[in-house]
Structure 1
Amino acid sequence: MKTKLTLLTAAILLASTSAFANYTGGSQGGFNGPSAGSVTVAEAKQRGDDAKVILQGNIISAQGGEYYTFKDSSGEITVEIDHDVWRGITVNPEDTVEIYGEIDKDWTSIKIDVDRIIKVTN
């Protein structure tokens, strides 16, 4: 019985190794195109706490510290962008940006904690 189990395990490992050996792709990159997971501010406000979101719009004002007002065609929301997330990017209210982050809900407010920001070139 032990021999059969050992042979079966070896066969499974060999089969999975040969499947990986067929991969001939280049770098382990990801999708490069329109953001399939992009949502509007209105949709983001309906998501649950800690939900990952991608939004595209404009940062229209600074609220102080690391807090800003983000706006798209559906509304406005507060975003928190830590200083290191900016990575030297400078934007103004006319610049379109794409932000990647997560919903941060508590009893009285909702905001987006931004992990990454990209200035979109039109």
Structure 2
Amino acid sequence: MNKFTKAILAAGFTAVSALSMANTVKAPAPEHAAHEAVNHAAFAKPVTVKQALTLKDDTKVELKGHVVKSLGDEKYQFRDSTGTITADIDNKLWQGKKVLAKTPVTITGEVDVDYKPAKHVSIDVDSVKF
């Protein structure tokens, strides 16, 4: 085998090895994915409804209280001891569980501030804990 063939084989082996390593790194273990979800929630600031109404758009928050009423189109009225706020909760986040107005829940998500036609603050919910 000449030097040229050896160089090509060595380069090919390195490329295949790098490709194999890249494929291994791309697919995270299921535990890693769950860990990322926990870390995302860890950045949420525990607040009351009254505080959430004063925060900036996209602030990550966690609120404890009760979902007291459905407003339609995946929008709900959320209440704690300081007031009420609209919460946008995707149907899949309910996990098939029924929640009554007296069921305590913790919602985690982001503050959503809309200014048109008038200022309106709501929570775009990422998770619901029962």
TM-score range, shorter chain: 0.5 to 0.7
How far, CA to CA, are the matches of 1:100 and 1:52 in structure 2?
Answer: 7
Unaligned 5+ runs, structure 1: 1-26
Query: How much does 1:85 deviate?
Result: 1.5
How far, CA to CA, are the matches of 2:81 and 2:71 in structure 1?
Answer: 20
**Equivalent residue for 2:82, pick from 74, 84, 99:** 74
Unaligned 5+ runs, structure 2: 1-30
Larger Rg: 2
Instruction: Calculate percent identity across the aligned residue pairs.
Output: 39
State the TM-score, normalizing by the size of structure 2.
0.63
Partner amino acid for 1:62? S
**Equivalent residue for 2:126, pick from 107, 115, 120:** 115
The alignment yields a C-alpha RMSD, in angstroms, of 1.8
How far, CA to CA, are the matches of 1:89 and 1:102 in structure 2?
Answer: 23
Partner of 2:60: 52
State the TM-score, normalizing by the size of structure 1.
0.67
Does 1:84 find its partner at 2:96? no
Partner of 2:104: 96
Offset from partner CA, 1:88-107 (integer Å, 9 cap, x none):
22210000000000001011
Alignment of 1:22-61 (within 5 A): 37-61=45-69
> Greater share of helix residues, 1 or 2?
2
Moved over 4 A (4+): 27-31
Partner-residue secondary structure (3-state), 2:53: helix
How far, CA to CA, are the matches of 2:113 and 2:63 in structure 1?
Answer: 17
How far, CA to CA, are the matches of 1:50 and 1:65 in structure 2?
Answer: 21
Offset from partner CA, 1:58-87 (integer Å, 9 cap, x none):
011011120000000000000000111212
Query: How much does 1:37 deviate?
Result: 3.1
